């Protein structure tokens, strides 16, 4: 399914429009004077088809969509109004979107660092939840009114989306739209890494980086479904209480401590499973932290993301420290290295459906539950991305398609005005400082000249002596 707008397909013009013969010209008559009520009554009695042709629904249909207009900062994702109802192909359903999930891949895509998103302009979004509004041909297991969650390569950050029915999953009773939008990407990723690659078993140890993020919390909850698993989780100190309550056994502040040393203090032999979303030098550290028969699963390159826009130094540094290993070293070390990328499994419908079925069973049993950090309107997507990129979230960041109330819009406008005013003030201060430095430099110049003259005089006196 393409996340970009598909043009509305029209039915055969012969079937769609009725041909009408031109009316015969009436014979000239003396002008009549009618009362307003009589004229109104006559107009009401006239069939609508003779006064104006009915406009097809597809042409009047509009919906809001977030569009990545180019690579760069938060302002590159803009809210636009699109016209025309998305056309359904065979096997597709039209979903009225209620909530969307924000993922780290979306942040990388905004900077042009995620290769599974087509070039701009394009609508991002890999997961959402909503209600089936229309069903295409050949769809037998979905009906209008079904509450569903959706997993797709892109194209879900909009009010309506046409997607393959096989990419939708029924929302369990009692699950909110926000929880449903928070579940697919994070929990499928965590489950497949821990159980398909990691073969997690009782009494093993796992290192979860970014333990307060969406995948981090999902992985921690899934670890707790297996008996006596020790979870090491990295996060800033302010998040330790929350992740410890969520199941992390040993919380490590990666900002102030060397997590490798902290792990070695507690588990000198190393760890059984390490989930690595960082890349670069951290992948080397992870491999060296594995105990014999340990498994490293790498699934991202978050170290490449530094600042709003693409940071070429960070990208180059990450590639320079890219992990590589000879197969002989793997054999001698009795270790395994795996790579996981959910975006490249979009064709594995049966496999994903099996995993989702297992994950939803765990939800129904009360063993897992998505944690929602915050919910933002589509108009606030820039603030939502900023919160996630600056690592200020604990759990999932959600976008809601519910229009922002007018009062909130006014508040947002005021905030934007304040931001602009602050930028101007900061610029004035910077300009003022620059001018002060220039003035100070100008003042210093005469003093330097005087000093040079004095030095010359001193030298001349010495020469005379």
- Would you say residue 87 has pLDDT above 90? yes
For residue 423, name the pLDDT band (cuts at 50, 70, 90). Answer: low
Instruction: Select from 92, 94, 154 the least CA-distant residue to 130.
Output: 94
For residue 23, name the pLDDT band (cuts at 50, 70, 90). Answer: very low
Asked if residue 121 has a cis previous peptide bond (ω within 30° of 0), the answer is yes
% residues pLDDT > 90 (the chain): 67
10 Å CB burial of residue 332 (0-12, 13-18, 19+) is exposed
Position 407 scores a pLDDT of 80
pTM of the complete model beyond 0.85:
no
Task: Provide mean pLDDT across the span 179-207.
Answer: 98
Identify the CATH homologous superfamily for domain 190-357: NAD(P)-binding Rossmann-like Domain (3.40.50.720)
Tokens for 352?
A: 């994903």
For residue 454, name the pLDDT band (cuts at 50, 70, 90). Answer: confident
Q: What is the dihedral of CA 50, 51, 52, 53, to 10 degrees?
A: 0
The DSSP-derived string for 311-364 is -HHHHHHHHHT-----HHHHHHHT-EEEE--GGGGTT-HHHHHHHHHHHHHHHH
- Would you say residue 13 has pLDDT above 60? no
Position 381 scores a pLDDT of 97
For residue 301, name the pLDDT band (cuts at 50, 70, 90). Answer: confident
The Cα–Cα gap between 25 and 399 comes to 58
Position 207 scores a pLDDT of 98
- Would you say residue 416 has pLDDT above 70? no
Instruction: Select from 207, 357, 342 the least CA-distant residue to 286.
Output: 207
The Cα–Cα gap between 94 and 146 comes to 11
CATH fit for domain 60-182+370-419, picks 3.20.20.70, 3.30.420.40, 3.90.180.10, 3.20.20.80 = 3.90.180.10
DSSP 197: I
CA-based torsion, 217, 218, 221, 226: positive or negative: negative
Contacts of 114 (CB under 8 A, 6+ apart): 105, 106, 108, 343
Q: How many helices (H) and strands (E) does the chain have?
A: 16, 15
Q: Mean pLDDT in the chain?
A: 85
Residue extent(s) of CATH 3.40.50.720 domains in the chain: 190-357
CB atoms within 10 A of CB 10: 13
SS3 49: helix
Buried b (16+ CB within 10 A) or exposed e, 409-444: eeeeeeeeeeeeeeeeeeeeeeeeeeeeeeeeeeee
- Would you say residue 22 has pLDDT above 70? no
SS3 420: helix
Strands 62-68 and 168-170 turn out to be unpaired
Instruction: Answer with the residue of higher pLDDT: 201 or 6.
Output: 201
Task: Provide mean pLDDT across the span 415-419.
Answer: 68
Please measure the distance between the N-terminal and C-terminal CA atoms of the chain and give it in whole angstroms.
94
Position 51 scores a pLDDT of 39
HSE-CB for 64 with a 13 A CA cutoff: 14
For residue 448, name the pLDDT band (cuts at 50, 70, 90). Answer: confident
Position 53 scores a pLDDT of 54
Position 364 scores a pLDDT of 97
Q: For the ranges 113-117, 285-289, 423-427, which has the lowest average pLDDT?
A: 423-427
Task: Provide mean pLDDT across the span 80-108.
Answer: 96
- Would you say residue 10 has pLDDT above 70? no
HSE-CB for 432 with a 13 A CA cutoff: 6
Tokens for 413?
A: 């406008």
For residue 431, name the pLDDT band (cuts at 50, 70, 90). Answer: low
% residues pLDDT > 70 (the chain): 80
Residue extent(s) of CATH 3.90.180.10 domains in the chain: 60-182+370-419
Position 8 scores a pLDDT of 39
From residue 302, give the alpha-carbon distance in Å to each of 41, 134, 184, 190, 390: 69, 38, 20, 16, 12
The DSSP-derived string for 106-134 is HHHHHTT--TTSPSSSB---SEEEEEEEE
Angle between helices 259-266 and 281-289 (to 10 degrees): 10
pLDDT in tens, 328-387: 999 999 999 999 999 999 999 999 999 999 999 999 999 999 999 999 999 999 999 999
Q: Of the segments 307-316, 388-397, 452-461, which one has the largest average pLDDT value? A: 388-397
Position 39 scores a pLDDT of 41
Position 1 scores a pLDDT of 44
86, β-bridge pairs? none
Q: For the ranges 150-164, 310-324, 413-427, which has the lowest average pLDDT?
A: 413-427
Strands 336-339 and 62-68 turn out to be unpaired
Task: Provide mean pLDDT across the span 236-260.
Answer: 97
Position 320 scores a pLDDT of 66
Task: Provide mean pLDDT across the span 112-135.
Answer: 95
Instruction: Answer with the residue of higher pLDDT: 21 or 158.
Output: 158
Position 41 scores a pLDDT of 41
């Amino acid at each position: 399914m393409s996340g970009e707008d598909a043009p509305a397909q029209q039915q055969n013009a012969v079937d769609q429009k009725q041909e009408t013969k031109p009316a015969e010209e009436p014979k000239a008559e003396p002008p009549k004077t009618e009362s307003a009520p009589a004229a109104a009554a006559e107009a009401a009695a006239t069939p609508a088809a003779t006064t104006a042709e009915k406009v097809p629904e597809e042409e009047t249909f509009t919906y809001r969509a977030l569009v990545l207009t180019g690579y760069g900062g938060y302002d590159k994702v803009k809210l636009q109004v699109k016209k025309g109802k998305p056309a359904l192909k065979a096997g597709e359903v039209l979903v009225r979107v209620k909530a969307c999930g924000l993922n780290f891949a979306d942040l990388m895509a905004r900077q042009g660092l995620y290769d599974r998103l087509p070039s701009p302009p394009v609508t991002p979004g890999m997961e959402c939840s909503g209600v089936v509004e229309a069903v295409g041909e050949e769809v037998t297991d979905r009906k209008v009114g079904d509450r569903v969650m959706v997993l797709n390569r892109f194209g879900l950050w909009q009010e309506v989306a046409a997607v393959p029915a096989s990419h939708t999953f029924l929302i369990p009773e009692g699950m909110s739209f926000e929880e449903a939008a928070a579940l697919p990407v994070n929990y499928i990723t965590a489950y497949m890494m821990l159980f398909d690659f990691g073969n997690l078993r009782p009494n093993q140890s796992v290192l979860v980086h970014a333990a307060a993020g969406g995948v981090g919390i999902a992985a921690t909850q899934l670890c707790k479904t297996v008996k006596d698993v020790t979870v090491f989780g990295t996060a800033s100190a302010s998040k330790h209480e929350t992740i410890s309550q969520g199941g992390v056994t040993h919380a490590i502040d990666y900002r102030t401590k060397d997590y490798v040393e902290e792990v070695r203090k507690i588990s000198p032999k190393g760890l059984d499973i390490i989930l690595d979303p960082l890349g670069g030098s951290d992948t080397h550290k992870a491999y060296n932290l594995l105990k014999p028969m340990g498994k490293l699963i790498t699934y991202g390159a978050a170290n490449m993301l530094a600042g709003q826009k693409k940071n070429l130094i960070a990208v180059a540094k990450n590639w320079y420290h890219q992990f590589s290993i000879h197969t002989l070293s793997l054999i001698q070390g009795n270790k395994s290295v795996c790579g996981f990328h959910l975006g490249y499994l979009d064709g594995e419908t049966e496999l994903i459906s099996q995993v989702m079925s297992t994950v939803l069973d765990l939800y129904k049993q009360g063993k897992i539950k998505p944690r929602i950090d915050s919910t933002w309107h589509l108009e606030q997507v820039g603030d939502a991305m900023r919160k996630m990129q600056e690592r200020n979230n604990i759990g999932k960041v959600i976008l809601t398609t519910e229009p922002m109330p007018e009062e909130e819009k006014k508040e947002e406008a005021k905030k934007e005005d304040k931001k602009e005013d602050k930028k101007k003030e900061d610029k004035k201060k910077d300009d003022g400082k620059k001018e002060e430095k220039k003035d100070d430099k100008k003042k210093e110049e005469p003093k330097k000249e005087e000093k040079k003259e004095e030095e010359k005089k001193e030298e001349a006196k010495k020469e005379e002596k």
